[in-house]
Structure 1
Amino acid sequence: MPDESAAADLVLLGGRVHTVDARDRVAEAVAVHGDKITRVGATEEVSPLVGPGTRVVRLDGRSVLPGINDSHLHGMWLGSMWPNLLMDQLAGTGGHSHEGPTRLETSDDRRRALLRTAELLSSFGITSYTEPGLGPGEDDGATGCFGSAALHDYAELAADGALKARVTALLLFGELDGRSSAAELLAGLRDFKPPADVPGRFHIAGVKIFADGIPPMQSAWTDRPYADGSHGALLVDGDSDAEREAALRAMIDAAHDAGHQIGVHATGDRTTRVVADAFAAALARDDRDARHYLIHGDLLSPQTLTVLAAARIGLNTQAGIPVATEPMLAAALGEDALRDAWPTRDALDAGVRLSLSSDAPVLTPDWRAGLAAAVTRRGLDGSVRGEAQRLAVAEALRAYTATPAWQDGAEDVKGTIEPGKVADLCVLDGDLYDVEPESLPSVPVRMTVLDGEVVYEI
């Protein structure tokens, strides 16, 4: 623990400090010494830590949040695409070029993309993110954004302190949004040697698996039939549904037994059910606190949510996707499918650990837009979609801070504003609870603090 009586290096006074602790306490001030938070409380409790070398920031009612953790964001791809977003291209909005990125051929190309992302994310108050899938499965990929060389670029930039965020990565032994096989994953687990972690800045946590596609493209594996009578299929190699399911279960078992965390892209209701059952079975063998999680989860039955909650399996989803694509899902699978579509409210009520993320550059990495979408379920056209699945502001904030820290296995280190935790902070020029959620994206981020160092300020 840091010396709580030592003079602070940075003190923020006179605001609303949303701690996101177990009781969601709101304080007035926070003190930082070195890279740690040393005191949180009323202004008169924190002011005695101001010394001759302390920088004092008078908040004047501004709010302080834990550093935002975007728990599913393609950092290198985002840096090569920004300001273009895939969802804007799909909708024909955004006012930017609709061209995709040129291939990142060299280490210099990849590092420029990452440094561009570093600057962008710090301006949004994001201090942690997960890069969900880098590895040999994409060494010949079309963009150059997801191959194994990217892991080394990340590690070297992290060692230099250039990323301006803490990055968690998952290994990828298949194709991005494409096929994979149990044999390739087993070979990767056995033979691939990733770079070493950089403590506190870069950590390879486990493995990403693509189980299926997405419902609007009729590539998610579903119980309900699509309009043409098909049900989609798993992306895993196999000659039948049964063979592909067996291979997927074998991949999950192998990665679990190797000690990895596993994130599985799963969207169809048949896929999410199989993945949840496979996770639960693996966890039941050794009761390891593996922090496995299901990614996207477009269609989740109540029974699957029960399995996720009981087995301590996380759900990582994007609130902006339903407000943009619900009509496409209904067109593909019928209105009845909407009952189980993106059930964020139902997931929390069932006890599932819910993380919200951007999937940037699919959606904007601006978490303020994502939080607004989670709270309002309102799309750009003004329509509210899935109103019963709305979250409260405090719940959505937790899903961008404390719960992603749990996903990272770092809830004792970050995710809340409490003494002893790292000083990762986001300062807003206003308060989350004083503005209409639709207006939140217009509330500026004034300051971003990482490890006690101001990395962005206006």
Structure 2
Amino acid sequence: MKADVVFVNGEVLKVDEHHSIQEAVAVKENFIAAVGSNDDIKSYIGEKTEVIDLQGKSLVPGFIDSHVHLTIYGTNLLGVSCIESHIDSLEDIFYDLRMKVKETPKGKWVRAWGFDQHEIDEKRFPTREELDEISREHPILVIRTCNHMCVANSKALELADINNHTPDPEGGIIERDADGQLTGKLIENAHMQMFKVAGYSSEELSKSMKLASDAFIKEGITSIHDAGAYGKGSETLRIMQQAVGNKDIRVRVYAIMGSLTNSHDFVQQMVQEGKVTGLGNDNFKLGPVKLFTDGSSTGPTIATREPYTSDANNSGIIYYSQEDLDHYLGNAHKEGFQITAHAQGDRAIEMLLDCIEKAVKEHPRSNHRHRIEHAGIASPDLQQRMKELEIIPIPNPVFIYVNGDVYKQYYGDRVNVMYPARDYQELGIVAAFGSDAPVTFVNPLLGIHAAVNRKSKSGQNVGEQQRVDVLEALRCYTVNGAFASFDEKRKGSIEAGKLADLVVLSDSLLTIDPAKIKDLGVEMTMIDGKVLFKNEQLVYTGGGSR
């Protein structure tokens, strides 16, 4: 058998159970045909075989981002970005919003994303009055980077039927000033509910999904676990499935059945319709049902067992009572679903563990692979329960790099057990990494960098005892992600018979200075045996152009 593509002279990181390293790989159609030395793979080279000389660069399995918001990432690209290099102040954001208003028909939504009060000169949120000065004829939202809160102008509040007398929703806050007047700031479930009226059209969603998929592929991401979007979950799921079918989305999708708006309604709908976890194929498959239990780690609104180090009177927000959590997720477990929830604080994690323990006890099921999204402050007692219940945590090491400084301020010594990759490894807990983009950067190499170094972008150590080596970090971004979606026999490592989802890096992942891992780039991304992104510097020594 002659291969379609052969990679030679590389650092092939197989990510198998032995952390094996080889030199060459042969690809036939959409599968890996063989892995071995250059000499082993020579026999697979024919007249039409494309041969790619890796010149010592790393060839790794396609990255699997186990928690990312594809739709929100894409729709953000349609709005005003608050993370551009020229943004230093609120006035810089207001200028860009004014420019967006000029090109937007009256009555249509104007949205800004990626706002972080810590990153601007004023160190505060904008006000409703400031947004009203930009436009009273356009509904305007400035959405915080965590996607757990926003500031709305008067027009947006009017459309959402929010006024000075509107009660706070359960699990949310409609902020008011000392005189009882709306500030425009909506926190947690109040923010989520805004998207009942601030959602996107089907055309906007389709366009955004393609933009996001293309961006992910350039980062070497070949599979995602999509963690949901605003609005009606079933509608987003339908559009996403169609986008995969017509190849607008080219990354493989494991669709978590959760919505940022009324997630329990979506969970109940999926359970009633019987669309159980695992339905689908290699390109699109239904994942777990998901709820939100608490808030944002940088808000901060996560639910903690002890008050925040920065605020002795605050220990966060809980979305559901224990009884409701047990009902919604317990019923889904009973019906055969994988279950998960957003749980950042240790109090929220404990509630989710109690829920899963009760569900598994009442309706025993082996190999359920229930998950915890984020599992931010994972104390040793909670880790031990994860191990006993065979739960898969989905930590976000890139948060340590981006948010490490404020984590130390908000949570003190608890940073030593935030996203604790080393503890998980030593306990034998399978943890799969996710970026949570667009909350922060989608780049998996930055996530690996953060897991290996445990330093914030300012250079502070943040729970350095949780550092892992580069091969373990790579495992958490590849085969562990495949395990979390029941796909470890199909993808996640470079082994014969698995899907040909492969990534070429710009240098050797093993020999580069660990402090420079974040500077590595992606030179080629292959999905299903097809090269969907490549850098022209790659050296082809045989066959035709790909």
Normalised by the size of structure 2, how large is the TM-score? 0.73
The structure-2 alpha-carbon separation of the partners of 1:185 and 1:415, relative to structure 1 and needing over 3 Å to count, comes to closer
Please give the root-mean-square deviation of Cα atoms over the aligned residues, in Å: 2.6
Match of 1:303 in 2: 381
Take 2:263 and 2:534, find their aligned partners in 1: how far apart are those partners? Answer: 43
| Superposition deviation, residue 415 in structure 1 | 0.2
SS state at 2:357 partner: helix
The structure-2 alpha-carbon separation of the partners of 1:318 and 1:90, relative to structure 1 and needing over 3 Å to count, comes to farther
| Superposition deviation, residue 194 in structure 1 | 9.8
Shifted more, 277-286 versus 346-355: the winner is 277-286
Take 2:278 and 2:224, find their aligned partners in 1: how far apart are those partners? Answer: 18
Match of 1:142 in 2: none
Match of 2:188 in 1: none
The residue type paired with residue 79 of structure 1 is G
Match of 1:79 in 2: 74
1:240-285 Cα deviation digits (max 9, x unpaired): xxxx112112222111112111121111112212212322332343
| Superposition deviation, residue 166 in structure 1 | 0.4
Take 1:279 and 1:447, find their aligned partners in 2: how far apart are those partners? Answer: 40
Match of 1:138 among 231, 236, 240: 231
Take 1:195 and 1:63, find their aligned partners in 2: how far apart are those partners? Answer: 34
8 A Cα contact 2:258 2:266, kept in partner = no
Match of 1:56 in 2: 51
| Counterpart mapping for 1:203-352 below 5 A | 203-226=285-308, 227-236=311-320, 244-284=321-361, 285-333=363-411, 335-352=412-429
Match of 1:89 in 2: 116
| Superposition deviation, residue 328 in structure 1 | 3.2
1:423 equivalent to 2:491? Answer: no
1:354-392 Cα deviation digits (max 9, x unpaired): 111110001111111111111111111111211111111
Take 2:439 and 2:18, find their aligned partners in 1: how far apart are those partners? Answer: 34
| Superposition deviation, residue 336 in structure 1 | 4.0
The residue type paired with residue 255 of structure 1 is A
| Superposition deviation, residue 180 in structure 1 | 5.6
8 A Cα contact 1:377 1:385, kept in partner = yes
The structure-2 alpha-carbon separation of the partners of 1:72 and 1:187, relative to structure 1 and needing over 3 Å to count, comes to closer
| Counterpart mapping for 1:141-152 below 5 A | 147-152=233-238
Take 1:310 and 1:271, find their aligned partners in 2: how far apart are those partners? Answer: 18
Shifted more, 84-93 versus 322-331: the winner is 84-93
8 A Cα contact 2:403 2:456, kept in partner = no
The structure-2 alpha-carbon separation of the partners of 1:27 and 1:248, relative to structure 1 and needing over 3 Å to count, comes to same
Normalised by the size of structure 1, how large is the TM-score? 0.87
1:123 equivalent to 2:218? Answer: yes
Match of 1:3 in 2: none
Structure 2 unaligned runs (5+)? 84-112, 121-140, 145-194, 536-546
The structure-2 alpha-carbon separation of the partners of 1:158 and 1:250, relative to structure 1 and needing over 3 Å to count, comes to same
The residue type paired with residue 119 of structure 1 is D
8 A Cα contact 1:151 1:195, kept in partner = no
Shifted more, 58-67 versus 154-163: the winner is 154-163
Take 2:238 and 2:422, find their aligned partners in 1: how far apart are those partners? Answer: 39
Take 2:515 and 2:339, find their aligned partners in 1: how far apart are those partners? Answer: 34
8 A Cα contact 2:416 2:462, kept in partner = no
| Superposition deviation, residue 188 in structure 1 | 5.0
Structure 1 unaligned runs (5+)? 1-5, 140-146, 237-243
1:432 equivalent to 2:539? Answer: no
The residue type paired with residue 156 of structure 1 is Q
The structure-2 alpha-carbon separation of the partners of 1:51 and 1:259, relative to structure 1 and needing over 3 Å to count, comes to same
8 A Cα contact 2:401 2:456, kept in partner = yes
Shifted more, 340-349 versus 224-233: the winner is 224-233
| Superposition deviation, residue 197 in structure 1 | 5.5
Count of residues paired in the alignment? 428
1:11-51 Cα deviation digits (max 9, x unpaired): 11111110000001001000011110010000010110111
8 A Cα contact 1:104 1:110, kept in partner = no
1:211-250 Cα deviation digits (max 9, x unpaired): 11135445322211243434334201xxxxxxx1121122
Take 2:341 and 2:473, find their aligned partners in 1: how far apart are those partners? Answer: 22
1:161 equivalent to 2:247? Answer: yes
| Superposition deviation, residue 316 in structure 1 | 0.4
Match of 1:202 among 265, 271, 284: 284
8 A Cα contact 2:257 2:266, kept in partner = no
Match of 1:29 in 2: 24
Specify the structure having the higher radius of gyration (Cα). 2
Take 1:350 and 1:28, find their aligned partners in 2: how far apart are those partners? Answer: 32
Aligned-residue sequence identity (percent) comes to: 28
The structure-2 alpha-carbon separation of the partners of 1:360 and 1:166, relative to structure 1 and needing over 3 Å to count, comes to same
1:410 equivalent to 2:405? Answer: no
8 A Cα contact 1:19 1:418, kept in partner = yes
The residue type paired with residue 223 of structure 2 is S
